[in-house]
């Protein structure tokens, strides 16, 4: 019940014994009670005594009784509240005009590397850009890169070019090369080399900020056209690089087709500031990318399907929700495709369900990324509308993802969309719907390839509309009921991060609204911004989200725990403490940062000996924690830190050893090796019982060595030496030996 004015619902702990206060403080004074807009609309009609409007709203006839009217009123209110909730999920990208930064040159003390595709090094546009930077005091060093260059070769090339030079920054012009990458389907040379550049700069130890430049890739105004949507993939890549490599990421800049003195001056000014990292530079000024709320979806017309509608990924859960809606909304023939087609799990049942609704259904095995197969399908079934919902979301950190894997993830979604666009050509369609994702709008740790693919879909929709063709790209938040969330555990993990799953019927209502309102690109997501933004910005501010009122309020009210400590201050403090005090401070620091990135209000919410995976860590939070600890300690820490050292205590021990020059006390290295052993043993968790039994016996032998009186010291040394030198294969060889002797 409501116990005081202004009361609101509060989330309870997700597991027992989380000793944290969850009562909500009552506001000191509440001048006016917040009224639901649906209620306000109804009572405004009543207060005006507008009988005709009320009768039309509730379909009241002269002979109707109160008993007839009450259910209609209830249904009307439910419908409008549903619509109000769906409308609150609508967001869009705008380009905000910002003042030119104060004239200054960034980092004059070193050289600026300018990687550029070798084929474009002599282009007038590139030459003009380089000259404009040099005239404003930047020492530039062009780095021509061949399309066939791999990661190791690019790393060596960068190291050779740098030599003894101090690198002030990196300005990549690689994205301009729109030729097909030789060994990476679905990627241009520019995108493929941009991926390799992010990796190679890390491999070469270049910590200077990386800025990636595109040309006419962003439509800042309705008058501009997006000629090449492939460059938008670099923007998707960059948004994730900003999260995974916050300390060495600069930003993204879109330049016009002509670079003159004014454009060059603004570019230099942008490179010299840190407030904006997604910027478009035009003759008329600077524009910064922003996420903002869209008005409610309202239209004089209601979109409805007709004829034949193709749904790629149509046999999946998400495609199934769309198919059921289209079946009931007027479509006569649904063509559902997937790689397995009729052999996909549940395909036969779905076909039967849809046919029972009176719709003709064709289920076909067709990978949309296979151009020839898709062309044959479209020739056999001419379509009136398309919903492209196919794709995969393989996770992987940029530094650990091969170019082939990156390309495969992009191809699964982007290549199908491109083929549909090209094969359908100028055909007049009722709808061309692309199912995109919020990962392409603001990024997500471990989702660089998926973000690039979805950013491409948004760019393709803009490109089509610029040509007068129909297109609607919807960047979805996670769907419930199998749409984009595998199980309830994933749903709970997302909720803790501030992302609420979308009920499919409401998501379909949002899609219907977007089509009826002729939206070009729209983001549909149910986000608790107060919970989402703090961990999202813990290692790097986000100007993109900064204009949302909820984000401003959340950041104003709350700073991440432990962020006030400077690396030097932490190091100096550790130097003055005893060994026990140093350990305690490091554990407290790790717990404070872990709590911060998980969205908890204090470090006490994190138990030092509880595994990160049990705390709810995922790839993004792992990177955020690594970035915070890197900033505090000044150490170079891997993105896999929380997986290599699976508890806050283990991470603290590792930090203590590293800060001591890697020569910490014996017990520190023993614990570190035990952490490594714990990770290795995890690989045997699903092995046969005989293997698991051997592992248990071997561990018992190690414990016996620890406890043997008179031989304790030697036992520890032997155990430590065995663990330190052992590889995964060595450990399983020992297990095999034990099994042979048993």
* CATH number (domain holding residue 132): 3.40.50.11460
Residue 584 lies in a domain: yes
What is the pLDDT at residue 340? 93
Task: Confirm if 187 and 407 have CB atoms less than 8 A apart.
Answer: yes
Q: For residue 64, give its domain range.
A: 37-87
- The DSSP H or E segment spanning 5 is none
CA distances from 164 to 198, 210, 291, 466 (A): 21, 19, 42, 48
Return the DSSP state at 413.
I
Unique residue bearing structure tokens 């479209």: 378
Domain count, the chain: 5
- 505/652 same-domain check: no
Residue 7 lies in a domain: no
What is the pLDDT at residue 12? 52
Residue 1: count of CB within 10 angstroms of its CB: 3
What is the pLDDT at residue 109? 67
Rounded Cα distance between 92 and 113, Å, is: 34
Domain closes at, from 541, 558, 575 = 558
- 607/551 same-domain check: no
Buried residues in 648-664 as b, exposed as e (16+ CB within 10 A): bbbbbbbbbbebeeeeb
Task: Confirm if 173 and 130 have CB atoms less than 8 A apart.
Answer: no
Task: Confirm if 136 and 268 have CB atoms less than 8 A apart.
Answer: yes
378: helix, coil or strand?
Answer: helix
What is the pLDDT at residue 55? 66
Residue 581 lies in a domain: yes
Q: pLDDT tens digits, residue range 221-250?
A: 988 999 889 999 999 999 999 999 998 999
CATH of residue 346: 3.40.50.720
The dihedral formed by the CA atoms of 72, 74, 79 and 82, expressed in degrees to the nearest 10: 180
- 672/611 same-domain check: yes
Rounded Cα distance between 227 and 462, Å, is: 9
Rounded Cα distance between 236 and 440, Å, is: 5
In sequence order, the 6+-apart residues with CB closer than 8 A to the CB of 222 are: none
In sequence order, the 6+-apart residues with CB closer than 8 A to the CB of 692 are: 684, 685
557: helix, coil or strand?
Answer: helix
Task: Confirm if 398 and 450 have CB atoms less than 8 A apart.
Answer: no
In sequence order, the 6+-apart residues with CB closer than 8 A to the CB of 483 are: 317, 318, 321, 501, 502, 504, 507
Return the DSSP state at 246.
G
Task: Confirm if 518 and 299 have CB atoms less than 8 A apart.
Answer: yes
Reading the block at residue 225, the tokens are: 């056209």
Residue 614 lies in a domain: yes
Q: pLDDT tens digits, residue range 624-678?
A: 788 888 878 878 787 778 878 889 999 999 888 888 765 444 444 455 556 556 6
Q: Which residues of the chain have pLDDT under 70?
A: 1-70, 72-80, 103-109, 482-489, 558-569, 601-602, 619, 661-697, 701, 704-742
> How open is the CA angle 549-239-287, to the nearest 5 degrees?
60
Return the DSSP state at 367.
-
- 610/710 same-domain check: yes
Domain closes at, from 293, 321, 343 = 293
What is the pLDDT at residue 265? 92
- 509/548 same-domain check: no
What is the pLDDT at residue 185? 79
- 470/330 same-domain check: yes
In sequence order, the 6+-apart residues with CB closer than 8 A to the CB of 311 are: 319, 322, 323, 326, 334, 335, 336, 337, 387, 389
Reading phi first (left if > 0) and then psi (alpha if -120 to 50, else beta), residue 93 is in beta
In sequence order, the 6+-apart residues with CB closer than 8 A to the CB of 576 are: none
- 476/535 same-domain check: no
Task: Confirm if 670 and 713 have CB atoms less than 8 A apart.
Answer: no
Task: Confirm if 642 and 628 have CB atoms less than 8 A apart.
Answer: no
CA 109 to chain centre: 35
pTM: 0.76
What does 166-182 look like in DSSP terms, one character per residue? PEEEEEE-GGG--SBPT
In sequence order, the 6+-apart residues with CB closer than 8 A to the CB of 309 are: 326, 331, 333, 334, 335, 383, 384, 385, 386, 387
Domain closes at, from 293, 321, 349 = 293
- 637/732 same-domain check: yes
Task: Confirm if 395 and 447 have CB atoms less than 8 A apart.
Answer: yes
Reading the block at residue 171, the tokens are: 């300005």
Q: In this structure, what are the phi and psi dihedrals at residue 540, rounded to the nearest 5 degrees?
A: -160, 130
Rounded Cα distance between 50 and 54, Å, is: 6
Residue 21 lies in a domain: no
The dihedral formed by the CA atoms of 256, 259, 261 and 266, expressed in degrees to the nearest 10: 40
Residue 6 lies in a domain: no
Pairing status of strand 385-388 against strand 431-437: parallel
What does 267-310 look like in DSSP terms, one character per residue? HHHHHT-SS-SEEEEETTEEEEEEEEEPPP---SS-----SEEE
- 377/511 same-domain check: yes
Residue 621 lies in a domain: yes
Return the DSSP state at 414.
I
387: helix, coil or strand?
Answer: strand
Which alpha helices (DSSP H) does 381-503 contain, by range?
Answer: 403-410, 416-424, 439-442, 448-466, 488-496
Task: Confirm if 301 and 327 have CB atoms less than 8 A apart.
Answer: no
Rounded Cα distance between 438 and 226, Å, is: 21
What is the pLDDT at residue 595? 85
Reading the block at residue 742, the tokens are: 């048993």
Helix, strand, coil proportions of the chain in percent (round to 5)? 50, 15, 35
Residue 268: count of CB within 10 angstroms of its CB: 20
What is the pLDDT at residue 742? 46
Nearest to 414 by CA among 457, 379, 451, 443: 457
CATH of residue 581: 1.10.1200.10
- 161/259 same-domain check: yes
Residue 672 lies in a domain: yes
- 680/708 same-domain check: yes
What is the pLDDT at residue 156? 96
Task: Confirm if 392 and 414 have CB atoms less than 8 A apart.
Answer: no
What does 70-122 look like in DSSP terms, one character per residue? HHHHHHHHHHHHHHHHHHTTEEEEEEEEEPPPPS--S-TTSEEEEEEEGGGTT
Unique residue bearing structure tokens 């104003």: 556
46: helix, coil or strand?
Answer: helix
- 498/546 same-domain check: no
């Amino acid at each position: 019940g409501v116990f005081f004015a202004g009361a609101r619902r509060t989330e309870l702990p997700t597991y027992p014994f989380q000793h944290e206060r969850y009562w909500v403080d009552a506001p000191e004074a509440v001048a006016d009670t917040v009224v639901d807009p649906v209620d306000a609309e109804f009572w405004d009609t009543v207060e005006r005594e507008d009988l005709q409007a009320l009768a039309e709203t509730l379909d009241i006839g002269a002979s109707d009784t109160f008993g007839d009217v009450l259910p209609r009123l209830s249904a009307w209110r439910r419908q409008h509240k549903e619509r109000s909730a769906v409308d609150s999920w609508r967001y869009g990208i705008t380009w905000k005009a910002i003042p030119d930064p104060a004239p200054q040159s960034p980092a004059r003390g070193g050289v600026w590397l300018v990687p550029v595709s070798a084929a474009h090094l002599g282009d007038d546009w590139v030459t003009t850009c380089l000259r404009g930077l040099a005239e404003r005091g930047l020492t530039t060093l062009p780095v021509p890169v061949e399309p066939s260059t791999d990661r190791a070769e690019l790393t060596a090339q960068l190291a050779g070019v740098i030599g003894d030079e101090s690198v002030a920054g990196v300005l990549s012009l690689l994205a301009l090369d729109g030729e097909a990458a030789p060994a990476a389907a679905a990627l241009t040379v520019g995108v493929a080399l941009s991926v390799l550049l992010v990796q190679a700069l890390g491999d070469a130890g270049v910590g200077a900020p990386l800025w990636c430049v595109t040309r006419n890739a962003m439509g800042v105004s309705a008058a501009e056209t997006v000629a090449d949507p492939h460059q938008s993939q670099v923007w998707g890549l960059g948004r994730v690089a900003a999260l995974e490599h916050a300390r060495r990421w600069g930003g993204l800049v879109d330049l016009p087709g002509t670079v003159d003195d004014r454009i060059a001056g603004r570019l230099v000014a942008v490179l010299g500031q840190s407030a904006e990292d997604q910027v478009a530079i035009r003759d008329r000024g600077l524009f910064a990318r922003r996420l903002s709320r869209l008005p409610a979806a309202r239209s004089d017309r209601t979109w409805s399907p007709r004829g034949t509608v193709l749904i790629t990924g149509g046999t999946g859960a998400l495609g199934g929700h769309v198919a059921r809606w289209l079946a009931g909304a007027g479509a006569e023939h649904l063509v559902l495709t997937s790689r397995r087609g009729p052999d996909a799990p549940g395909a036969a049942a779905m076909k039967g369900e849809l046919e029972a609704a009176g719709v003709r259904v064709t289920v076909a095995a067709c990978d949309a990324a296979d151009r020839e197969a898709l062309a044959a399908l479209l020739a056999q079934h001419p379509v009136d509308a398309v919903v492209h919902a196919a794709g995969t979301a393989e996770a992987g950190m940029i530094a650990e993802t091969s170019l082939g894997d990156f390309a495969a993830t992009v191809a699964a979604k982007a290549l199908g969309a491109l083929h549909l666009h090209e094969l359908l050509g100028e055909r007049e369609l009722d709808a061309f719907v692309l199912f995109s994702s919020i990962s392409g709008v603001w990024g997500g740790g471990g989702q660089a390839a998926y973000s690039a693919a979805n950013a491409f879909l948004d760019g393709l929709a803009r490109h089509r509309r610029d040509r007068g063709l129909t297109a609607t790209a919807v960047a979805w938040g996670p769907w419930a009921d199998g749409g984009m969330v595998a199980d309830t555990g994933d749903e709970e993990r997302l909720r803790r991060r501030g992302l609420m799953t979308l009920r499919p019927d409401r998501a379909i209502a949002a899609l219907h609204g977007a089509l009826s309102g002729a939206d070009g690109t729209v983001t549909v997501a149910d986000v608790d911004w107060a919970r989402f933004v703090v961990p999202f910005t813990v290692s790097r501010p986000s100007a993109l989200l900064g204009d949302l009122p909820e984000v401003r309020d959340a950041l104003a009210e709350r700073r991440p725990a432990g962020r006030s400590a400077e690396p030097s201050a932490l190091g100096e403090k550790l130097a003055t403490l005893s060994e026990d005090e140093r350990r305690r401070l490091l554990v407290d620091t790790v717990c404070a940062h872990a709590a911060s990135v998980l969205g908890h209000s204090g470090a006490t919410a994190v138990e030092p000996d509880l595994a990160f995976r049990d705390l709810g860590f995922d790839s993004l939070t792992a990177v955020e924690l690594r970035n915070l600890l890197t900033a505090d300690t000044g150490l170079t820490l891997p993105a896999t830190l929380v997986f290599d050292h699976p508890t806050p205590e283990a991470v603290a021990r590792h930090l203590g050893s590293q800060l001591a020059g890697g020569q910490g006390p014996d017990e520190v290295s023993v614990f570190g090796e035990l952490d490594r052993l714990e990770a290795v043993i995890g690989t045997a968790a699903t092995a046969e019982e005989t293997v698991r039994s051997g592992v248990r016996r071997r561990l018992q032998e190690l414990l016996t060595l620890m406890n043997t009186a008179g031989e304790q010291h030697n036992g520890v040394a032997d155990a430590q030496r065995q663990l330190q030198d052992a590889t995964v294969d060595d450990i399983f060889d020992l297990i095999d030996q034990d099994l042979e002797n048993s």
